[in-house]
Amino acid sequence: MNPLRKLLGYDDKFFNLLEASAEEAQSSVQLLVGMLKKANGMPTLDEFIQTRRKDKQITEEISEQLCKTFVTPLEREDIEALSIALYKIPKTVEKFSEKFVLCHEHISQVDFSRQVNILEQTTATVTDMVKTLRERAHLERVKEQNDRLHYLEGEADKLMMALIKELYSGKHEPLKVIIIMDLYETLERIIDRCRDAGNVIFQIVLKYS
């Protein structure tokens, strides 16, 4: 790298930090998958808290480096917006895990596999999109990835409607309906967070295309 560019701060540190944040978000979802697969055992929150804290540290480091760095590879507000959008993913995952643990006895037989399958795809797509920033990927490629996020969000919405219909069928106790509905909505919110991060990335790439 050109020494002057590095002296001015125009290096890969922001890409490294953003990619690390995306990977923590993806790790939090993998923890969620593992927790739901062990639904018959008592889950714990420690790993979710640790992952969210790691991502918070990364977010704070990005903010600190933005204040210190003279030249940045992307506009400062774009870096900050993406950093915040990525952090909201593990933060919302942690919220779900907290609720899941609190009401675990009431929902041990509930199947979340279809939502989790969509969630795994969305976080993987977001992680790939973050990596395209370093690569200066073509707009068409990023648009395809962002379109995929919106497609997955649409599939999640359709699934949500089908699940709500089942909940309102009268087969379930009212308390269980309230608990499950809240968990469904929180899972959907995680997917929305992924979509939001994808939109930020697409707008960044669009700006520099």
Q: What is the C-alpha to C-alpha distance for residues 157 and 163, in angstroms, rounded to an integer? A: 10
In this prediction, residue 135 carries a pLDDT of 81
- Exposure on the CB side of residue 100, measured as CA atoms within 13 A: 32
Q: What is the C-alpha to C-alpha distance for residues 121 and 169, in angstroms, rounded to an integer? A: 30
Tell me, which fold does domain 3-208 have in CATH? Methane Monooxygenase Hydroxylase; Chain G, domain 1 (1.20.58)
Q: What is the C-alpha to C-alpha distance for residues 92 and 186, in angstroms, rounded to an integer? A: 7
In this prediction, residue 7 carries a pLDDT of 45
Q: Nearest-CA neighbor of 193 among 6, 21, 17?
A: 21
Lowest mean pLDDT among 19-23, 141-145, 166-170: 166-170
Q: What is the mean pLDDT of residues 178-193?
A: 93
pLDDT tens for residues 69-87? Answer: 888 888 999 999 999 999 9
Give Cβ neighbours of residue 58 (< 8 Å, ≥ 6 apart). Answer: 17, 20, 21, 24, 83, 87
What separation, in Å, do the N-terminal and C-terminal C-alpha atoms of the chain show? 23
The percent of residues above 90 in pLDDT, for the chain, comes to 62
Q: Domain-by-domain residue ranges, the chain?
A: 3-208
Rounded CA Rg of the chain: 19
Q: What is the mean pLDDT of residues 169-177?
A: 84
Decide: helix, strand or coil at residue 96: helix
Q: What is the C-alpha to C-alpha distance for residues 190 and 187, in angstroms, rounded to an integer? A: 5
What single DSSP character describes residue 190? H
Give the CA dihedral 85, 190, 206, 67, nearest 10 degrees: 10
Q: What is the mean pLDDT of residues 36-40?
A: 68
Give the other-Cβ count within 10 Å of 40's Cβ: 8
Confidence band of 8 (pLDDT split at 50, 70, 90) = very low
In this prediction, residue 40 carries a pLDDT of 55
**Cα–Cα distances in angstroms (integers) from residue 25 to residues 22, 73, 90, 126, 167, in the given order:** 5, 23, 5, 9, 30
What single-letter amino acid sits at 13? Answer: K
